[in-house]
Structure 1
Amino acid sequence: MNMDDDLDKALDAVGPRLRALRKQRETTLADLSAETGISVSTLSRLESGARRPTLELLLPLAKAHRVSLDELVDSPATGDPRINMRPTTHRGMNGMTSIPLTRRPGGIQAYKLVIPASSGRSEPDPKTHEGYEWMYILNGRLRLVLGEHDVILEPGEAVEFDTRVPHWFSAAGTEPVELLSLFGKQGERAHLRARPKAKN
């Protein structure tokens, strides 16, 4: 394989990576267009692979997604099964850091999420978007506001929900929360449920 083939392979991977980053940030094409000055149609064609990415387009997108240019164009080595885990910190989501654990575009995405300890000042601001999410708490305590429910999840507990229901989550207390998250487009469910607590 020559250098031109390597470049083509890397550029072909940019579209799915751009879509995954946007979905991860829960940002619409219209929002991203307003943030970068790139038209919605151009963004859509970039994500689908119909438009060849250029430096002029990738620079504002890298800035908007808060990743380096290398992260947009650097694809994992062919045949290497290891996941290239690069954490992303989301300033607008209680400072949450997400670490991707899968790299399959369009399917169920797995993340490890780390949410800093609560400052006590954050008020719930529920959002909605297309998809279905499953979470499993590893460490710490998570406060989840889901529709009319306001619950605290402990280590070892799991929850799944339709993300079209207004939802918001944050650390509950003075320690950070670590959790695993599976996120899929509507209809792709994890089929894993929390075991109900035994009643005393």
Structure 2
Amino acid sequence: MSTDPLAAPDTARDASAGWEAVVGSIGPKVRALRRERGLTLQQLAHAADVSTASVHKVERGDMVPTVTTLLKIAGALAVPVRFFVEDSEPTHAAVLTRFGDAVRTGPVVITGPPDRFRSSGTVARLEPGEERPGLRRAGETLLVVLEGRLDVEVAEARYTVSAGEALHFPSWLEHRCRNSGETTAEIVAVDVPDV
């Protein structure tokens, strides 16, 4: 314990370190959500009605946003403002997702929180004859077929992707998947948004 009467108490230093960590995490959280939603800096700024320079400075940690700016950004990203100020230090370096039989009832997201990871993944099953259009956005998609076979159309080119094969393509191209086989196709789709 310090004998200096002017020295800050340990609790004050701990509190200061706590809020500094929260403020320091705002920019990375904004950037991660913007990327996860496939938005450019300009698109987010327009949606939030703030300048592009402000969004850029917030993301880089060069500026602490005002409450008003943070509310606007949170609204544009469709998250509560508390998302940016809650202490969300990960307790573990990795995120384990168990999906097992859950994928039988629909696609299962196999992704960690967007404030920590850029990519997003989904496990899905397509029944024979089922077709799904792809979501067009800046970035890339890696499609892995675990079981069955898929016909994938990417910008008018057609590919047949069988079990044990993968197809990697820019997500901004028009694309769709169709199970033209006679058995269920099980796939993993990993999307990485553009920076």
Same-fold call, TM > 0.5?
yes
Aligned residue pair count: 169
Cα distance, 1:53 vs. partner? 2.5
Larger Rg: 2
Please give the secondary structure, in 1, of the residue aligned with 2:119: strand
User: In the alignment, what sits opposite 1:149?
Assistant: 157
Q: Do 1:101 and 1:109's aligned partners in 2 also have CA atoms closer than 8 Å?
A: no
- AA aligned to 1:110 is S
User: In the alignment, what sits opposite 2:23?
Assistant: 11
Distance 1:51 1:141, change over 3 A: farther
Residue 169 of structure 2 corresponds to residue 135 of structure 1: no
Please give the secondary structure, in 2, of the residue aligned with 1:15: helix
User: In the alignment, what sits opposite 1:72?
Assistant: 84
Give the Cα separation in 1 of the matches to 2:173 and 2:189. Answer: 20
- For 1:104-129, what per-residue CA distance to the aligned partner results, in whole angstroms no more than 9, with x for missing partners? 87xx8332336798xx99877855x3
- AA aligned to 1:134 is L
Higher relative contact order (CA 8 A, sep 6+): 2
Higher helix share: 2
Cα distance, 1:167 vs. partner? 3.8
Q: Which runs of 4+ in 1 moved over 6 A?
A: 102-105, 114-117, 120-125, 138-143, 170-173
TM-score, scaled to structure 1: 0.59
- For 1:76-103, what per-residue CA distance to the aligned partner results, in whole angstroms no more than 9, with x for missing partners? 3365435499xxxxxxxxxx98664377
Q: Do 1:146 and 1:166's aligned partners in 2 also have CA atoms closer than 8 Å?
A: yes
User: In the alignment, what sits opposite 2:173?
Assistant: 166
Cα distance, 1:6 vs. partner? 1.1
- AA aligned to 2:70 is L
Bigger drift between 55-64 and 40-49 goes to: 55-64
Residue 111 of structure 2 corresponds to residue 111 of structure 1: no
Unaligned runs of 5+ in 1: 86-95, 187-200
Residue 112 of structure 2 corresponds to residue 101 of structure 1: yes
Cα distance, 1:148 vs. partner? 2.6
- For 1:122-167, what per-residue CA distance to the aligned partner results, in whole angstroms no more than 9, with x for missing partners? 877855x3x444233568987754223245756754322245x624
- AA aligned to 2:112 is L
Give the Cα separation in 1 of the matches to 2:92 and 2:18. Answer: 15
User: In the alignment, what sits opposite 2:102?
Assistant: none
Give the Cα separation in 2 of the matches to 1:63 and 1:97. Answer: 26
TM-score, scaled to structure 2: 0.61
